[in-house]
Amino acid sequence: MKTIEDLDVAGKRVFVRADLNVPLSDGRITDDGRIRAVAPTIAKLVERGAKVVVASHLGRPKGAPDPQFSLAPVAERLGEILGRPVAFATDTVGESARSAVAALADGEVVLLENLRFNAGETSKDDAERKAFAEQLAALADLYVGDGFGAVHRKHASVYDLPALLPHAAGDLIATEVGVLKKLTEDVKRPYVVVLGGAKVSDKLGVIDNLLKKADRILIGGGMAYTFLKAKGHEVGISLLQEDQIPTVLGYLAEAEERGVEFVLPVDVLVSAEFPDLKGKTPANPDTVASDEIPADKEGLDIGPKTRELYAAKLADAGTVFWNGPMGVFEHPDYANGTKAVAQALIDSNAFTVVGGGDSAAAVRILGFDETKFGHISTGGGASLEYLEGKTLPGLAALEG
């Protein structure tokens, strides 16, 4: 895979496919981590005299302009981070985009409007996708893929466009791939995987693959209750995927067969109602053993004994991959499980990887120093699919 060091970018229009899919609340960015992650690549291209055309998606608009998903606030924040103005085109391949790109001088930057405002970006029809990619290609001389959070998508700007222009991977993607190789090849042991989040079905592929590689797997979050139910425990009104119980039982049996330590919560925080995440009024949860969840209550975080147990299971790790919070971390009464895992990663001497998505958001929201972790990924879904052993369309396109 070529990198931007292999491209002669001076005076050239360089199309940078970034992942600027940041969370917005009332038009304000609540977490700029993805913008900061791609900024060094853009800055490097600017310093080398490129005319930089940045493009990204944001949210899931229905293939047409939708003001709530505009990238305008992102253009402003990107300019602040880069310390230079970033022009903003109000469309993707229309008059605004064409004139904004034509006006670029060497070392200047423009951000195009949300790629998903055009149906061709996400189309399942190869011809429609390619037609949109050709319109994007007309805006540039070179292509740099640096939107790691989107490389598992077969989208026009990720998969079709690189085939139309000389291309290379940006520094962010090169770093992400290097880190993921450390999790799949020549792993420093013990290798501990921490998985959380809402649904066990979201993690089936990664569990299946990592059972062959990990020494220990720790389970938390909403997905834990399907495992606890599979063990025959009452889980009350907790998140549960009954249809996944046979699969979960298979994983538990395989783990035992392979000598992989599979660790489930020993206690949990429960409540009869889901917490208020806006006003964040006190929730006053009860702590119960994980095999004694009342029938009318819901598990919402791992308990204090589990926090201690998981910290101990992480203490001697050589490598840790963490994807998914341990509970409803957005509420202070249910954030302690996720905090405990994050702190255990910091306290260990392991190479630690936070696998994007809610885990990365939690690290920032809960106030941890990002530099204390080995790597914080910008792509939760992409990281998981890589670890499942899948071919990622965006990476395949860059290697072509």
Provide the annotated active-site residues: 34, 199, 357, 381
CA 320/CA 322 separation, integer angstroms:
6
| Binding site listing for (2R)-3-phosphoglycerate | 34, 116, 153
Place of tokens 């993607």: 173
Contact of 375 with 354, CB cutoff 8 Å: yes
- Measured between its terminal Cα atoms, the distance across the chain in Å is 8
| Binding site listing for ATP | 203, 299, 330, 356-359
Question: 380: closest CA among 341, 338, 322, 329?
Answer: 322
Place of tokens 């006006």: 103
| Binding site listing for substrate | 19-21, 34, 57-60, 116, 153
Spatial neighbors of 190 by CB under 8 A, at least 6 apart, are 215, 216, 316, 317, 318, 319
E strands present in the chain: 13-17, 24-25, 28-29, 51-55, 86-88, 109-111, 142-145, 167-169, 191-195, 216-219, 261-263, 267-271, 286-289, 298-302, 319-323, 351-354, 375-376
| Binding site listing | 19-21, 34, 57-60, 116, 153, 203, 299, 330, 356-359
CA 110/CA 146 separation, integer angstroms:
16
Give the CA angle between residues 49, 50, 56 to the nearest 5°: 145
